[in-house]
Amino acid sequence: LIDFASPKRDVCFICGSDLSRLGTVSGRVSHIKRCKAKYSEILGSASIKNDNDLDCEFIESGAEPIEGTTDNPSFSRSVSLGTKQLRNPYDKNQWHGNASIILESKRAAESDNRQQFPENSHIQHNKQPQQTMLSRFFQAPVRSLTDVLMGSARRLKKEKYVSSGKKAFEPSVKARSNDWRSNLKYSNCPSYKKIPGTDFICDGFYYARSTLSQNYFLTHFHSDHYGGITKQWNEGTIYCSLPTANLVNQQLGVDKRFLHPLPMNSPTIIESRGKPVTVTLLDANHCPGAIMFLFEVGNKTILHVGDFRWDREIMMKMPQLKAFSNANPRLNEIFLDTTYCDKKYSLPTQAEAIEATITAVEEELAMAKKERTKTLFLFGSYTIGKERIYLSVAEHLGMKVYVDNRRFRILSALEWPKERMKMFT
C-alpha cells in the first residue's frame, strides 16, 4: 500500500526510479502503471485498484522474484508477497530489496538443521562467551602474533643473504601505493569477469562504474576478490551470501542498501537488461561465506566457482552439480578456479591435513606433560579462513580457542550457531 502523504513517496516501488520530478499524483500513478506492464513478466501479476489506493499483490512462481537495481534506491512501501509482508528495504539496517524478508523466512525454515557443530560435552556452556585477555597466559608483554608467526621466515631470509656473501641484509621495501588499481576503473572489464548474456559482473569491482552495470556479484570476502569495494561504494547492488554481506558492511563500511544477501540453494530471479535471470548460491567449500554462483540465462546454465575446494564426496551431494555430472541438464559454461590445477601440486585432503594437525598437537601435549611444561598453540589465519582446522583441534581436545577482539567481531558476523561461537574465548 502506497501512502502518498509519506515523506518517502517520491520513488517508484517497482523499479525504484526517482518520481520527485513528477509533480502530480496522477503522473506518478501513470509511471507505476507503465512499470507494472513492463515488469509483469518478472514480478508476476499486479493489480492496481485505483489512483489513490495502490494494492499490489505479487504472485510467486518457482523462484523468488526481487526488484531490479536502480540508480536511486531510496523508496518506502509495503508489498504483500504471497503471505509475506515486505518492509521498506532501504530503512536503516535493511538490506537491499526484499533480502531481509527472504533470509528471515529461510532461517526460520532451517533453524532445526543448523547444528553443524554439536555442543562440546567437555565444556559447560552456561554463559554467553566473553573475551579473555591474552595477558592471562603471559607474564611478559606480548609481541605481535604476526611477528611471532613470521619471525622464523624472516630469520631464514636473513641467513640466506648472509650465506650468499652479500654485504648487508636489506629488508624488502613495501610496494608503492595501489595507484595502478585506480586506473582499472577507466579500462575495459575483462571477459572473465562478465557473465555472458547479462550485465552481471563477478568479482570485478576495480572496473565498476554505473555505465558498466548495476548488478555486481561477490563470491567471498578475500581481498583479491572484493578489491575495489570501498566505503564510498555506490556503483550498484552487490549480491553475495549473508556472511559475506555482513563482512562487507562491517569491515569495509559499505551501506546496506547496496548489499543484497541471497539465500543458499534457493533460486532467485534477478533482472538483467529487462530479462529474468535465475541465480542460485552453492557452497564453494573454501572459507566462511564463500559461494559458487549458478546462473540460468535463458536456456543456458553457467557456473562461476570463485575460489573453491573440490571434494567429490561433498560436491556430489549438491543436486545441481550431481545433475550436471550426468549431463542432465548440461552445463554450458564454467568459470573455473585453476590455482592448483597442475600435476606438480600433490596436496593432502582437508580431512588428512586436520588429522595430521591433531596428531602433531597430541604429540606436543604428551611431551609437555612429560616435561611438566605448558604449551601454547598459535594458529595463523587470514581475515577469514583456517577456522575449520583450529576449531577441529579445539573440539578434539575439549578446549576453547582464544581470539582477540577484532577476530571475535569478525567471527560474530559469520552467522554461526551459538554452540560454535561458545568455543571462542
pLDDT tens-digit series, residues 188-236: 899 999 999 999 999 999 999 988 999 999 999 999 999 999 999 999 9
In the prediction, which pLDDT does 334 show?
A: 96
Residue with more model confidence, 293 or 172: 293
Q: Is the pLDDT of residue 360 over 60?
A: yes
pLDDT classification of 70: cutoffs 50, 70, 90: very low
Tell me how far apart the alpha carbons of residues 244 and 241 are, in angstroms, rounded to a whole number. 5
Q: Is the pLDDT of residue 139 over 50?
A: yes
> What is the torsion angle, in degrees rounded to the nearest 10, for the CA atoms of residue 245, residue 251, residue 252 and residue 256?
40
Angle at 166 between CA 163 and CA 169, to 5 degrees: 90
Q: Is the pLDDT of residue 252 over 50?
A: yes
Q: Is the pLDDT of residue 298 over 60?
A: yes
pLDDT digits (tens, 9 = 90+) for 315-346: 999 999 999 998 888 999 999 988 888 888 88
The continuous run of DSSP H or E covering 284 comes out as none
Q: At what angle do helices 405-412 and 242-252 cross, to 10 degrees?
A: 140
Tell me how far apart the alpha carbons of residues 93 and 246 are, in angstroms, rounded to a whole number. 11
Residues 6+ apart with CB under 8 A from 143: none
pTM above 0.75, yes or no: no
In 3-state terms, what secondary structure has residue 31?
A: helix
> What count of other Cβ atoms lies within 10 Å of the Cβ of residue 222?
21
Of 31, 69, 63, 29, whose CA–CA distance to 44 is shortest?
63
Q: What is the DSSP letter of 60?
A: P
Q: Is the pLDDT of residue 123 over 50?
A: no
In 3-state terms, what secondary structure has residue 238?
A: strand
